[in-house]
Homo-oligomer: A and B are copies of this chain.
Amino acid sequence: MTYADLMSEPKRRNKAATRSALLEAARRRFTEHGYDGTGVRDIAADAGVDATLIFRYFGSKQALFAEAVRVEVPEGLGRGRRSDPAALVDALLREVVFTDRPEPGAEHPLFVMLRSAGRPEVRAQLREQVCGEYLAEFTGRLQGADAELRAELIGALLVGIGLMRSVIDSPALSEASFEQTRGLVAAMVAALHEAAPH
């Protein structure tokens, strides 16, 4: 894509195009090799430009990472603001956990960050997104004494599944389809609701 783009039109100068080429190359590299395993020269080479443009356009490698990996929380998460928590889980499982197989670059940014979680700044960004955006959705929809704890357990399950597939690459979960998994996950989440409020 980047290749073809730059080959068809030999060397057309275009700031916006270069910027997004850099961004896409960064996403791929970071996804595959993590933050520390990726050098600015690698990214620039993939994008077909000079490495110094990274600093021109983004300021620093860290800032490029942050922007490359930033993700907006999906708008209509569980189809409607006050929907069933179970529907929300199902939607999240489908849309974020099971949207990471096909090719690197299509993997969800959450797990890209997970793979680069050695850096404190990356951890901070990860915490902000997971807690501030995703978990909040659950806490709002749950009721009872330990709603927050139960919300985080759901989050842990989802993140754990993604982790098993994305970084550990465990056999069964990696091969399993969304349809095979959703029923089991739903059962686990349902049990959490039915558990007596202590």
Contact = CB atoms under 8 A, between A and B. Distances in A.
A160 B184 CA distance: 16
Main secondary structure on A side of the interface with B:
helix
Interface in A82-123: 114-119, 123
A188 B153 contact: yes
Given A118-B118, A163-B160, A149 B184 contact: yes
B163 A163 contact: yes
Protomer copies: 2
Contacts of A119: 34, 37
Given A116-B118, A131-B168, A170-B131, A184 B37 contact: no
Contact of A149 (B33, B168, B181): B181
Nearest to A35: B118
A118 B188 contact: no
A33 B172 contact: no
A36 to B, nearest CB: 4
22 contacts: A34-B117, A36-B37, A37-B118, A117-B117, A123-B168, A126-B168, A127-B169, A146-B180, A148-B172, A153-B161, A153-B181, A153-B184, A153-B185, A155-B160, A156-B157, A157-B160, A159-B163, A160-B160, A160-B161, A187-B191, A188-B188, A188-B191
